[in-house]
Chains A and B, each alone.
Chain A
Amino acid sequence: EAGVAQSPRYKIIEKRQSVAFWCNPISGHATLYWYQQILGQGPKLLIQFQNNGVVDDSQLPKDRFSAERLKGVDSTLKIQPAKLEDSAVYLCASLAAGQGAKTQYFGPGTRLLVL
């Protein structure tokens, strides 16, 4: 079974530029999460999708961040314009549907450096 794929793995941009990250979850996983992880901290949930609908984006800085999952499969996260404090690792995770104890599966992350 293929894992969660993310690209690019690394990105360096200057402040005020835009950047986009891509995630392809495990096949059949209905729920997709985007997290921001700043160095030395735990992941912070940015947005949660159920199929192609947003179920929680309460911590997404909507003035600069946007995300979509148009066909309920892969997803993109965009930052425009980027700020220095956006430097972090952006993690994508997916979760299978159904009841019972479940675990999220994580991609390798995209490491963003804003200069």
Chain B
Amino acid sequence: KQEVTQIPAALSVPEGENLVLNCSFTDSAIYNLQWFRQDPGKGLTSLLLIQSSQREQTSGRLNASLDKSSGRSTLYIAASQPGDSATYLCARIATVDSNYQLIWGAGTKLIIKP
């Protein structure tokens, strides 16, 4: 069974700290991996998509890395701000019978304290 695990489930840090969110997956034959942000009462917003041929992607203060050999991805947030408070989910992109699907982790709830 394909599984995606995110650790920790919740994280609270003071504003300004750099932090790392972790995502691990059981199937090493990964295609692509994607990080999303979810704000309360809202849908999911894509942050970064790492293709299987890539090792990392960067957008502003966010950097996502992908290590297929260890089955892990990390999301690095630099100089955290209260506006970064949200739930962060990673999803492995799979092709199931030629259908493009996402296999989700349960998310890490991040709170940035002012």
Binding site for B on A (CB under 8 A): 4, 31, 40-45, 48, 50, 55-56, 91, 93, 95, 101-109, 111
Q: Tell me if B114 counts as interface (CB < 8 A to partner A).
A: no
Q: Look across to chain A and name the residue whose beta carbon is closest to the beta carbon of B31.
A: A101
Tell me whether A42 and B107 are in contact (CB under 8 A): yes
Q: Are A109 and B89 in contact (CB under 8 A)?
A: no
C-alpha gap A50/B45 in the complex (Å): 22
Measured CB to CB, the nearest residue on chain A to B48 is: A103
Bound Cα distance A91, B97 (Å)? 23
By a CB distance below 8 angstroms, the chain B residues around A109 are: 41-43
List residues of chain B with CB within 8 A of the CB of A111: 41
Range of interface residues on chain B? 20 to 34
B106-A103 in contact (CB<8A): no
Residue in A31, A40, A104 whose beta carbon sits within 8 Å of that of B106 in the complex: A40
Given known contacts A101-B49, A106-B44, A108-B41, A56 and B34 CB-to-CB distance under 8 angstroms: no
**B76-91 with Cβ < 8 A to chain A:** 89, 91
Query: Would B42 and A55 count as touching, CB distance under 8 A?
Result: no
Q: List 21 A-B contacts (CB under 8 A).
A: A4-B43, A40-B107, A41-B106, A42-B4, A42-B91, A42-B104, A42-B105, A43-B44, A43-B102, A43-B104, A44-B104, A45-B101, A56-B96, A91-B43, A91-B44, A93-B43, A95-B100, A101-B32, A106-B45, A109-B42, A109-B43
Closest to B96 in A: A56
Q: Contact check, A108 vs B89: say whether CB atoms are below 8 A apart.
A: no
Are A56 and B41 within 8 A (Cβ)?
no
Complex contact B105–A106 (CB within 8 A): no
Q: Which residues of B contact A31 (CB under 8 A)?
A: 100
* Complex alpha-carbon distance, A103 and B49, angstroms: 8
Interface residues of B in 41-56 (CB under 8 A from A): 41-46, 49, 51
Residues on B with beta carbons closer than 8 Å to the beta carbon of A40? 9, 106-107
B12 within 8 A of A: no
Residues on B with beta carbons closer than 8 Å to the beta carbon of A104: 46, 102
Cross-chain contact B99 with A48 (CB below 8 angstroms): yes
A102 — which chain B residues lie within 8 A by C-beta? 100
What chain B residues lie within 8 Å of A108 (beta carbons)? 41-43
